[in-house]
Structure 1
Amino acid sequence: MIDTHQHIWDPKRAAYEWLGPDLAEIDRPIYFDELRHELRDAGVDFTVQVQSADDPDDTALMIESASMHPEVAGIVGYAPIDRPEECAATIEAWAGDSLMVGVRTLIHNQADPDWLLRPDVDEGLSVLEGYGLAFDVVSVLPRHLEHVPVIAERHPDLRLVIDHLSKPPIGLADREPWWSLIAAAAEHPNVHAKISGLYSATGDPAAWTTELVEPFVDRAVEVFGFDRLMYGGDWPISILAGGYTRVWNGLRPIFERFAPHEREQVLGRTAASFYRLSPARLGLG
């Protein structure tokens, strides 16, 4: 079992501009050891650690963590895709490290909602495509999700994964435009999605239930199929939504409806394939 969306951070070692007093519960150093027992209780064998800041020091922190924790099977690091030459140099510096499996940047913190479509960013995405790295899309606004098919068409060999199913309107009366936009994104075979971060959209991230989340997971299954979906616990952001165990226990009844081979895909096989995780790291060879 692989959790494809797990963070660590330390504000003393990297710049996390989005953290602050309004997030006091998680505005502190957070490391893997704090999560380990909950992962074991949930049956999670491995995680993919994902960047939390557009700062190379955040990536260095994850690399350090992975060196101490064999449970970390992959790292999605930061590379400046808006500066293609620096992006290529960053990726070159990762050469030979099989744990470096993808890149993410916090596009939702950009003032321009069309940032992903800029020519310099597009060139940076071509760099990722050329190196065979995956790209995590932090799609929060409908506009972000509209861009996914455009990027998928421009870069057919770039593996894209939509983090948190692009934050569906859980708890709200209107499912559009998410309902239609997620289907449009899924039309492209190089686009995948994470069943992660599915919290209430009503303002209280903890005001969600399995029943509220279920229709959106079902929609994702309908449009992506099981072989392009993967589970993510979104810890420690999930602390704000009830904690890792609550999130896992809330999703588990949905996963248990799946046939065994379908559940296997979502809880591990899709992740291993999409991120091209090292079989040796997974204990498979």
Structure 2
Amino acid sequence: MHNGTGAGGRALRLIEPLTRPGSLRSRRSRVRQVSQAAIAHAAVVTAAAVCCAALAVFLLLPLVALLSTAPPHAVIAALRDGETLTALGLSLRASALALTLTIVIGTPAAYFIATRRFPGRRAVLTAVELPIVLPPAVAGLALLSAFGPEGLAGGALSAVGIRLPFTFGAVVVASMFVASPLYIRNAIASFEQVDRRLIDAARNLGASELRAFLRVAAPIAMPGLTASAAIATARALGEFGATLMFAGSLRGSTQTAALAIYERFASDTTAAFALSIALLALAAGLLAAAKLHSASAGLASISRR
């Protein structure tokens, strides 16, 4: 009997706090807080989903509309046109040369900036980034002011027999001017992600600075460098304003695909749309190749572990 009374007393003592008015109010308050948090979370998720959907529609709708403007046979017919092929080939050659020069010059520069802290580093970064936000027409005038016959460096170039404005060289320079900052800035970010201890370990084992760069830093940063190169190439392929101002739009010599689209839009919209679709396909292919390379590099890194 005593044991039963003791057990009942303990049960009452356990239940009693839950039946007090203050405890009930506390439980109701916690339930309300949980409910409000759940509602707020659902509202945030819904708003984010709506924003993502709206952004996707905004970005993809123009591309889908462009693809619907010209049937495949019209695209093929336009790409068989001699002048169109010349303009497209000129764009590819200029972009390839601009990318090659950018990689050769920009990769060591990006590595140096990423791994060093020196006075004026922020000014150097600003100088690298400035062409990214510069209006294309302003970039073209700046190049003309620098390398034109009356430009700051124009006289020195003329003295050694180099004339840049309104030549194929001007197309390459304009493409490099607008595209190289994208590569260099992203390359700096890629090198900054490399664990500095790995580079220091290679140096401690006797590797030179160049060897540590080639064997350690560059392979680790390669996925980012590849993506940067793809973005820079796509930017160079689509360059318009700086090329028009500095190189002109001379058929067969300086007229790139982007300039050909602009010219044909006034007379042959089907050809203009077809060439636009071809450039879109090139840009999409570059982006897909960069992503596949990054994914394969990531899988290879995981397998090595």
TM-score range, shorter chain: under 0.3
Higher Rg: 2
Normalising by structure 1, we get a TM-score of 0.23
The structure where helix makes up a greater share of residues is 2
Of the two structures, which has the highest relative contact order with CA contacts closer than 8 Å and spacing of 6 or more?
Answer: 2
